Structure 1
Amino acid sequence: MSPHRTLVRNGHVLTMDPALGDLPTGDVLIEDGVIAAVAPSLPVTDAEVIDATGHLVLPGLIDTHRHTWQSLVRGICGDWTLADYYFGIRLGVSPAYTPGDVRLGNLFGAVDALNSGVTTILDFSHCNNTPDHSDAAVQGLREAGIRAAFCYGFFESSPEESRFGDHAARVADFHRIADTYFASEGLLTLGVSLSELFGLPWEHTVDELAAARERRALLVNHAGCVFGSVLCTGITELDALGLLGPDMVHVHCNAFTDAEWDAVARSGGKVSISVETELNMGFGRPVFERCRRHGIAPTLSVDVVSLNSGDLWHELRFGLACAREDVLGPVNAAGAMPDSVGIPAREALRWSTVNAADALGLGDRIGSLTPGKRADLLLVGGPAVEQHPVVDPYATLLFQTTAADVRTVLVDGRVVKRDGVLATTDLTTLTAEADSAAERILGRIRDAGRALPGTPPGAWAAVEPMAREFHEHAVQTAKKR
C-alpha cells in the first residue's frame, strides 16, 4: 500500500532544528505520521495539502507536568495556597471522583491541551483511587488522541481511606496497567509519579522507584516546593543512595539548596517549572536562574487547571518575563539600565519543544520538525489582529499568541484541529458533560459535610515530623550500604 501523505505547504517554518533553521517560506511533507522532508519547496502532487500561507509552522508544544484529571474543577483554586490545594484537592476533591470522572477529566483536559497547541503532556496521574480509576485515566487520554507520558501515581490520601489495602497492591496495579496498555509502542508512554517523598515510609519510595525502573518508565516527582521544612525534598537522601537519575523530572524545585541542585545536575535530572502555580500559590520564585547556574535545560508545565489556564502560551510568556528579570534585576539594583534583555524569545520556545522532548525521553521522536521524527506540529496565525503583521515570528508566538490563534494541530500526522475547529471532538457535548460532572463532584463533597479547602491551622507543622522520620530512615539505610 502507498503511504498516506500530507503536505503542509507555503508556511513560515520554524523547525527548532539548528541544522535546518527557519524557512520563511517552506513545505513539510508527512508520510504515515512521520516527517519525511522539510524544504523551501517540495514538488509533491500525490498528497493531501494543508495550505499554511500566512501561518507559522512549528513543532507541537510539550507540557512536562499536568494533573489532567483536575480539568473538571477548573479555577477552583483561584485564591488557594499550596496547603489549601493539598487539603482541598488531594484530600477533598480526589476522593469524590468516580472512575467516570477521571476518564472525562483526562479526556476534557487533553482536549483543552490540544486546542491550544499542546500535542504532548506528562500526565501526573494521582487520582488512581481504585484499579477502575487507573483504567479510566488511560482511557481518557486514548480517546483524546494526544501524545502523553501517562505517569501512574501511587498517592493515597490516608491509610484509613485506602481503597487498595496496602502499598504493594498499588504497585501491583501499576504493573497491571503496564501490561494492559503499554505492551506496544503508541501515542502513550509509561511513567511513574512518585508519592511525596516525605509522606510515606522509605521502603515504599524505594518500591516505587524499583517498579518504574523495572519497566523503564519515566519518573516524575514534586520536589522543593515547601519552604521552612528543610528535610522535605528527599533529593539528598536519594542522592546518597544512588537513586537519582536522568530518567527523573523534578517539578518546581523552588526551595532547593545548592547541594540539592548539585545532586540533580550530577544525575542528569530534568526540571519542570510551573510559573503560574508557583507565583500564585506561594511556592517562591520560578527557578530559571538556578537552572542556568547548574547547566540544566528548563522546561515548562501548566500543572493544575484547577488554578490556571491549560494554555501553555501563558506559561511561556510569564516564564520568559521571570527569566529575563533574573538577568535584568541585578542590573537595575546596581542603578543601571541593561544593554539587552538577556534571553531571546527563540530560546524560550525551546523550553516547551526541544528541552521538553528530551526531558520526557522523547527527543528522538518529537520536539523539532526534523525528518524522521513523528509529525506533531502546529499552524499558528489566521485572522486575529494580534497575528498581523509578523515582524519577528518568535516574538509573535511568545507575546501575541493564544489558543484561538492555533489554527491547525496535527498529532502523529493526524489532524485534530483544523482551521480553528477541533476536528475529532464535539465540543458542545463535551463541555456540557464537564459542567454536569463538576456539579456532581462538588455535590458529593457537600453531601459528605466537607468544606473546601478545609485547611487546618498550622497545616505545615504536621509535615515536619513525617519529613524527619523519612530523613532519619533514609540516612540509616545509606549507612547500612
Structure 2
Amino acid sequence: MAQQRTVIRGGHVITMDPVLGDFPVGDILIEDGRIVQVASSIGIIDCEVIDARGHLVLPGLVDTHRHTWQSLLRGICADWTLGDYYFGIRLGISPVFSPDDLHLGQVLGGAEALNAGVTTILDFSHTNNTPEHSDAAIAGIKDSGVRAVHCHGFFESSPTGTKFGPHADRLRDYRRLVEAELSDADARVTAGVALSEPLGLPWQDTLNEIATAREHGALMVNHTGCVWGSPLTFGIPELDALGLLGPDMVHVHCNALTGHEWEILRRTDGKVSISVETELNMGMGRPVFARCREYGIAPTLSADVMSLNSGDLWHQARLGLGFARWDATHELNIAGHMPEAVVSTAKDALGWATVNGADALGMSDQIGSLKPGKKADVILVGGNSFEQHPRLDPYGTLIFQTTAHDVRTVLVGGEIVKLDGRLVHHDLAELGRRADTAAREIFARVEATGAILPGTPPGAWGAIDPMAQGYLAEARASVAAVR
C-alpha cells in the first residue's frame, strides 16, 4: 500500500518536546498518520503540502473531562450552583434524553472540540438510560471525528423509575459495548469508565465498577472531593486502604480534598483534571493549581459542561493561568507586597492542555507533543484576526489571545478535519439547526413531566447527605473487614 505523506511547511513549530524544542521556521513530515520528522526544513516534494507560513504549529489540545452530550444544553446553567446542576441536569433533564438526542449531542460536542483545536477528549458519558442510549453515545462520538477515551458511565438518572435494570445489568452491558465497539486500543475512540460518584451509591457497586474497568484495561474518571460538607464524591482513604487507586484514574475537581487525601493521590500517581470555569462559577472552591504544585502532581484542564462553559480549552487555559497567578500572590498582596515573578508561565499553561493531558489519559507515548513516532494530531493557529498580529511571544499569543476562530487547520491522526477555518466533515449551520430543534423538544418533554428546573430541594446536598453517610459507613466497614 502506498504511503500517505503530508508535509506541514514553514510554520513556527512548537513541539512541546523538551529535546526537540521549538522551530521558528520548521516543517513536519507525516506518514500514514504518524509524525516521521520535525526539522527546520524537510526537502520532500512528492506529497501533500500544508502551507503553515504565518501560523503557529503545535500539538492538538487534550481535554481530560468533558460531558460532550451536554452540547445540546448550552448555557442553561449560567446562574446555577453545583447543586442546581446535579438536580436539574443529572436528575431532571438527563432522564428525558432520547438516544437520538444523545447521538446529536455527541456529534455536536465533538465537532465543537475539533473546531477549537481540541483533538482528544476524555468523553465523560453518563446519560446511559438504556442500552440504546449507550450505543448512540459511542456512535455519536465516533461520527464526530474527535479522538476520545469514551468513559461510559453507570450513573442512574432515574433512581425511582429505572429504564435499565439493576446496577449489575449496567456492568454486563458495558462488557457488550467494549466487545462490540471499543475493543481496539489503537482506534480513534477507546474504552474508559466514568465511575458513579463514590458514596453516592452502595459501596459494593463502586467496587464492582472499578473491577469492571480494570477487567477491560479501561481508564477511569471520577468526580472527586468536590462537594463540601458531605461524604459524596470522597472515599479516597477507603479506596486506598483497599489498594484500588492508581495511575489509571483521573480525579476531577478535587477542591475539597484534605492534605492527607492529596498525599494519597501523589503516592498512587493519581491524575488531576481542573475545570476552572465550572469550579469558579458553581461555588466549588479554589481550582487546585496550588495543591498540584505542592504535591508534585501535573495539572490538566477540562471544559467539563457545555451546559455552562465554553467548549474550548483556550478559555480554560487563560482563566486557569490567571487564577493560578492570583492564588499564588493573594496573601503576598494582603501583606503589602508585590510579586517579583509569575508562579506559572504561558508555556506551563499550554503544557496543562497538551503533554500533561496526554499523560493523564495514559497516551503520552501517542499524543501531546510533536515528536517523531507519535500520532499526527496537529493544529495550525493564525490567520488575519487582530489578536494574531503582531506575534511577539508565541506562547502568550496562544494562551492570552487565541480563540477557536484562530484555529485554522486541524489534523487528527494525519487526517485533515479542519482546513482554512472550516470543518471538513460537518456542516455547522445544519448542526446548529438540528441542535435548536432537539433542545426545544427536550425541554418540552421536561415540561410535560411537570418538573420546574432546576428543581433543587431545600438544603440541596443536605437532602442526600443521610444516604451518603450510610454509604460511607459501608465503605469503612469494608476496610475494617480486610484489616
> Which residue is equivalent to 2:458?
457
Q: Which amino acid aligns with 1:281?
A: M
Q: CA deviation at 1:282?
A: 0.3
Q: How does 1:207-218 map to 2 (within 5 A)?
A: 207-218=208-219
| Matches of 1:475 and 1:14, distance apart in 2 | 49
> Which residue is equivalent to 1:66?
66
Q: CA deviation at 1:329?
A: 1.8
CA contact (8 A) 1:232 1:467 kept: no
RMSD: 0.9
> Which residue is equivalent to 1:42?
42
Q: Which amino acid aligns with 1:462?
A: A
Deviations 1:191-227 (A, max 9, x none): 0000011111111001000000000000000011111
> Which residue is equivalent to 1:433?
434
Q: Which runs of 5+ in 1 are unaligned?
A: none
Q: Which amino acid aligns with 1:34?
A: R
Asked whether 1:88 is paired with 2:56, we answer no
| Matches of 2:180 and 2:34, distance apart in 1 | 26
CA contact (8 A) 1:150 1:189 kept: yes
Q: Which amino acid aligns with 2:422?
A: V
Q: Which runs of 5+ in 2 are unaligned?
A: none
Q: Which amino acid aligns with 1:429?
A: E
Q: How does 1:225-264 map to 2 (within 5 A)?
A: 225-230=226-231, 232-264=233-265
Q: How does 1:274-313 map to 2 (within 5 A)?
A: 274-313=275-314
Asked whether 1:206 is paired with 2:222, we answer no
Q: Which amino acid aligns with 2:149?
A: A
Q: CA deviation at 1:334?
A: 2.1
Q: Secondary structure of 1:461's match? A: helix
| Matches of 1:237 and 1:462, distance apart in 2 | 24
> Which residue is equivalent to 2:404?
403
Q: Percent identity?
A: 62
- Which deviates more from structure 2 when the two are superposed, residues 25-34 or residues 426-435? 426-435
Q: CA deviation at 1:478?
A: 1.1
Deviations 1:406-460 (A, max 9, x none): 0000001001110111111111111111111001001100111111101111121
Q: Which amino acid aligns with 1:248?
A: M
| Matches of 2:423 and 2:220, distance apart in 1 | 31
Q: Which amino acid aligns with 1:155?
A: F
- TM-score norm. by structure 2 comes to 0.98
| Matches of 1:246 and 1:137, distance apart in 2 | 26
Q: Secondary structure of 2:160's match? A: helix
Question: How many pairs are equivalent?
Answer: 481
Deviations 1:257-279 (A, max 9, x none): 11111111111000000000000
| Matches of 2:81 and 2:309, distance apart in 1 | 13
CA contact (8 A) 1:126 1:153 kept: yes
Q: Which amino acid aligns with 1:430?
A: L
| Matches of 2:428 and 2:343, distance apart in 1 | 41
> Which residue is equivalent to 1:166?
166
Q: CA deviation at 1:327?
A: 1.9
| Matches of 2:198 and 2:348, distance apart in 1 | 33
CA contact (8 A) 2:198 2:232 kept: no
Q: CA deviation at 1:469?
A: 1.3
Q: Secondary structure of 2:464's match? A: helix
> Which residue is equivalent to 1:138?
138
> Which residue is equivalent to 2:129?
129
CA contact (8 A) 2:201 2:471 kept: yes
Q: Which amino acid aligns with 2:459?
A: G
Q: Which amino acid aligns with 1:395?
A: G
Q: Secondary structure of 1:6's match? A: strand
Q: Secondary structure of 1:23's match? A: strand
Q: How does 1:363-442 map to 2 (within 5 A)?
A: 363-442=364-443
Q: Secondary structure of 2:479's match? A: helix
| Matches of 1:215 and 1:29, distance apart in 2 | 35
| Matches of 1:264 and 1:460, distance apart in 2 | 25
Q: CA deviation at 1:160?
A: 2.1
| Matches of 2:262 and 2:101, distance apart in 1 | 38
- TM-score norm. by structure 1 comes to 0.99
CA contact (8 A) 1:26 1:38 kept: yes
> Which residue is equivalent to 1:105?
105
Q: Secondary structure of 2:250's match? A: strand
| Matches of 2:409 and 2:440, distance apart in 1 | 32
Q: Which amino acid aligns with 1:18?
A: P
Task: Mark the CA change 1:154 to 1:231 in structure 2 (over 3 Å): closer, same or farther.
Answer: closer
> Which residue is equivalent to 1:53?
53
Asked whether 1:19 is paired with 2:19, we answer yes
Q: CA deviation at 1:158?
A: 4.1
Q: Which amino acid aligns with 1:457?
A: P
Q: Secondary structure of 1:408's match? A: strand
CA contact (8 A) 2:122 2:361 kept: yes
Q: Which amino acid aligns with 1:29?
A: L
- Which deviates more from structure 2 when the two are superposed, residues 374-383 or residues 459-468? 459-468
